[in-house]
Amino acid sequence: MKAGDGFWSTFTLHRWYKLVCGLSALTFLAALTIRLQFPNGPVAIAALGAFLIGLGEWTNQRNVIVNERVPGGIARIRGTKRENCIGGILLDVLGALMLVYGLYRLFA
* Residue range 59-90, pLDDT digits in tens: 998 878 877 777 888 777 777 888 899 999 99
pTM of the model: 0.79
Crossing angle of helices 40-60/86-107, nearest 10°? Answer: 160
- Specify whether the CB–CB gap between 57 and 92 falls below 8 A: yes
Span 37-43, mean pLDDT? Answer: 92
| 55 pLDDT above the threshold of 90 | yes
Banded model confidence at residue 1, pLDDT cuts 50, 70, 90:
very low
Check residue 6 and give its pLDDT: 63
Q: If we measure between CA atoms, which residue out of 18, 52, 48, 19 comes closest to residue 31?
A: 48
